[in-house]
Amino acid sequence: MKSAEKLLDELWTTGKDFLGVRHAILGGAMTWVSERNLVSAISNAGGFGIIASGAMSPELLRTEIQKTQALTSYPFGVNLITLHPNLLELIDACAQENVTHVVLAGGLPPAQAIAKLKENDIKVICFSPALVLAKKLIKLGVDALIIEGMEAGGHIGPVSTSVLVQEILPHIKEVPVFVAGGIGRGEAIISYLEMGAAGCQLGTRFVCTTESIAHPRLKKAFIRAQARDAIISPQLDVRFPVIPVRSLLNKATKEFINYQKELIGKVDRQEMDLKEAQLNIEHFWAGSLRRAIIEGDIENGSIMAGQSVGLVSKEQSTQEVIEELLTQAKQALFSRFFIEQSDDKRLSL
């Protein structure tokens, strides 16, 4: 008779072994939030924390890695943006500080970056928004994939998590595949593990942890929000492309719509060059994420959040969040097998 805990361990053995952790739960890399305190807390709780390097310089990243290592002896990773002008130098910093796993995000990673990481024995994890790209990344030598649906917070793709999972998981067996986007409960984790995932990545659920440095006003906004409040940034005109971002509706979101209308009008009246207007739209959100997360300006800042924000009801420690997820996962397994097993072979928690 197997316990629910034993069955859960078996379901995510591949993910646990790849990450070197007790629970194959990754903390999504969130700019300004996923720094040393939250990253180390996730790793100390048995998960896999990931530093969001964002626009950090190699020197700043090196310092952040060192300070994270001072807070945990467990594995953690670093998220690097592929478009960063000093990407190769950031990889050098990771190698020099003995980082074991790097997540490359923000576009198709350069082959040189993948090769450099592998030369330094660093595991390479990449995002894949489609099956064809997943296969291409595997040929390039990546060690694991993350498939993230549009329910996630921050920059997103056009396809939902449930569809991506059905498209990709049945066809990728060469490397571990982790699922992300809209995951907030243990039952969802179990469903993806049973479909073949190696583990799951969560971001929004960790924003309101006690270890998170997010401003108290931002945490309150998360706790008050419903899933429908996390909307995708609108694009009003195909001439003015907007990178889709999911965040909570606020004053800044409405001002962004009006700002687009204003610039569209200026271009139509030939009062402004098209390229200049496009650049102004791209720069609208500059600094707004820090304004919300660090300064607590939840009206004029960008409150990036996934639709799982509706499942955030209180501030908890990171340990409590992970334990809650594990309990839900094991209860889901227990309930399922309790029904299926005969009375003398029932599953025990």
pTM higher than the cut 0.75: yes
pLDDT at 341: 59
Flag whether 216 is in a domain.
no
Are 293 and 32 contacting, i.e. CB atoms less than 8 angstroms apart? yes
Query: 65: domain range?
Result: 4-206+317-344
Let me know whether 177 and 33 are in one domain. Answer: yes
d(CA 279, CA 293): 24
pLDDT at 166: 97
In the predicted structure, residue 147 carries a pLDDT above the cut 70: yes
Let me know whether 281 and 332 are in one domain. Answer: no
Let me know whether 98 and 37 are in one domain. Answer: yes
Question: Amino acid letter at 210?
Answer: T
pLDDT at 42: 98
d(CA 77, CA 83): 19
Q: Provide the CATH number for the domain around residue 139.
A: 3.20.20.70
108-130: average pLDDT: 96
In the predicted structure, residue 129 carries a pLDDT above the cut 80: yes
Half-sphere exposure in the Cβ direction for 271 (13 Å, CA): 7
Number of domains in the chain: 2
